[in-house]
Amino acid sequence: MTHPDALDYLPPLPADRSPGIGCIGAGFIMADCHLVAYRAAGFNPVAIASRSRDKAQAAATRHGINTVYSDWRDLLKDPKVEVLDIAVPPDVQLEVVAEAIKHSGHIRGILAQKPLGMDYSQAKQIVRMCEDAGITLAVNQNMRFDQSIRACKSLLARGDLGDPVLATIEMRAIPHWMPWQQRLGWVTLRIMSIHHLDTFRYLFGNPRRVFASVRPDPRTAQKFPHEDGICLSILEYDSGLRATSLDDVWAGPSVEGAEPDLGIRWRVEGTQGLARGTIGWPSYPARTPSTLDYATRRHPGTWHKPRWNEVWFPDAFAGPMADLLCALEEKRAPHLSGEDNLLTMALVDACYLSVKEHRAVEITEIAT
């Protein structure tokens, strides 16, 4: 009998970790997440470039990368770069990918940030460009590699929860916004909600339709105009499953002096059991592992509470790159393939259309 806590919560790693990784971008996500996780996993970053050579040099020195480029286009020409790791704003990704595919002779794979471009249409263009060039594309939807989310997926696969009935994600957190968000007028749907929508797809497959409602975040509204501050979405599945995400980046006036109550909590209820968890990210930089508790009819009267030492930020960031390297090694599509991610992008665009037209939107209205 399988031990109840023997859950598959870590990503498979490639046998060959030697392919050279070229890094474009040297901001927080690259310097404090990607490269930290890559070094811990034994991956091989060989070159880095950024808009600021000083930032690129600082990241290279910190993480032991030998080659620094002032221009990212020069990095693309480096024959040591077999896999490209792109960490740039979404309105720049298309330009970078369009240039990268010119070097498909030595660049075999690309890991792109989420969101994959500005919208579904642009994401589809990026996917097709890579496909035509013979480059394997993966998207950094890293919440799929949060340890509690992977453990929940393992529970579902084992049948401990039965058929899913209701799933919820409740986020009350105050992220650090990136400067490019003001330029694009984005706050939550394409930045935070996309994690939760993709997680629902990972756990349960594709919903038929979504209804979304948003309002501005009062705090961020003082900095720049936007619509999608506080976001609520309801996903409807043909099976009868309902999944709902509440994404609250206001989280009360804690910055303004009130006592904070921050956190991310998720819950999955099924016909045979239920699981509940927390995501440790709001505590970063403190290392706070995500958690999972579950109860199942297979073990009456017991709450199982497996725990681990790994954390989402930065440990789980090894997962998307491992997925891409395994795919290249095994000559298959990544689980986080660009093709798969088109449906996450379609779901986000469906949320925007739902907000605009005040109605539930079928995913097939976007995905073509």
Locate 51 and state its tokens: 């808009």
Give residue 177's pLDDT.
85
Tell me the domain boundaries of the chain. Answer: 20-142+320-334, 144-313+344-365
pLDDT digits (tens, 9 = 90+) for 302-314: 999 999 999 999 9
Answer CATH for 20-142+320-334 from 1.20.1560.10, 2.60.120.380, 3.40.50.720, 3.30.70.2970: 3.40.50.720
With tokens 């097709």, the residue in question is 128
Rounded distance between C-alpha atoms, residue 29 and residue 49, angstroms? 14
Strand-by-strand arrangement of the 136-139 sheet: 67-69, 44-49, 20-24, 83-86, 109-112, 136-139
pTM: 0.96
Rounded distance between C-alpha atoms, residue 306 and residue 303, angstroms? 10
Give residue 176's pLDDT.
85
Sequence letter at residue 4: P
Q: Which residues, listed in sequence order, are joined to residue 215 by a DSSP beta bridge? A: 230
Give residue 122's pLDDT.
98
Rounded distance between C-alpha atoms, residue 177 and residue 88, angstroms? 14
Give residue 3's pLDDT.
56
C-alpha distance across the termini of the chain, in Å: 45
Residue 120 parent element (H or E): helix 120-133
Locate 237 and state its tokens: 């599945």
Q: Which fold has domain 144-313+344-365?
A: Dihydrodipicolinate Reductase; domain 2 (3.30.360)
Give residue 1's pLDDT.
37
Locate 129 and state its tokens: 């460009």
Is the CB of residue 195 less than 8 Å from the CB of residue 348?
no
Give residue 6's pLDDT.
84
| Number of neighbours of residue 167 by Cβ within 10 angstroms | 23
pLDDT digits (tens, 9 = 90+) for 88-114: 999 999 999 999 999 999 999 999 999
Give the 3-state secondary structure of residue 360.
coil
Is the CB of residue 80 less than 8 Å from the CB of residue 74?
no
pLDDT-flagged residues of the chain (< 70): 1-4
Rounded distance between C-alpha atoms, residue 297 and residue 299, angstroms? 5
Is the CB of residue 149 less than 8 Å from the CB of residue 179?
no
Give residue 270's pLDDT.
98
Helix axes 120-133, 338-357, angle to 10 degrees: 170
